[in-house]
Amino acid sequence: MARYDQRTARCRVYVYKDGLLSAMGHDLILEVTRFSVEIDDNRIEARFDSSSLRVFGPAVLSASDRRDIEQRIVSEVLDARRYPEIRFRGHTSELHIQGVLELHGRARSLSFDTDGPRGVRVRVSQPDFGIRPYTALLGTLRVRPDVEVEITLPSD
């Protein structure tokens, strides 16, 4: 069985801006700082601490802005107090993964191809899990409904 976590692998979430005033906002790169991935033959199980997302980029954000964004993601978007863990269980075959993602109190089937044996990038629709994408300025600045999750495992 292969085991990975934040010390041996990387998990990032890419969030993209949208809306009439999107030029005022920033696309974000979030780093998940507490997670585990276990791979055993063709089975995969991953757990992510929903309170552990930190703003990795863009660099132009101040420390105060980063803290504010992180707090909003954890408390308002993911409601980490109520839903502390995000979980994926599935099976792999060649370069394809199929399983169930549990997020925000909902479970949905998820099927995707990998970028090779050491990486995966998958699109997740927030509304599919009952998450209302973040909005500001009366909805003229908002986050796109889909985010991209990238997991990079070390090469052996």
Position 109 pLDDT exceeds 80: yes
Residues 128/100, Cβ–Cβ less than 8 Å: no
Checking if the pLDDT of 21 tops 70, the result is: no
Averaged pLDDT, 2-22: 91
Give the CATH number of the domain where residue 108 resides: 2.40.128.110
What is the domain range of residue 96? Answer: 2-152
Beta-carbon contacts of residue 58 (< 8 Å; ≥ 6 apart): 26, 27, 28, 29
Dump pLDDT digits (tens) for 43-86: 999 999 999 999 999 999 999 999 999 999 999 999 999 999 99
pLDDT band for position 95 (cuts 50, 70, 90): confident
The C-alpha atoms of residue 2 and residue 106 are separated, in whole angstroms, by 27
Mean pLDDT of 12-27: 84
Measured CA to CA, the distance from residue 109 to residue 102 in angstroms comes to: 9
The pLDDT of residue 156: 63
Q: How many domains does the chain have?
A: 1
Question: DSSP 3-state assignment of 6?
Answer: coil
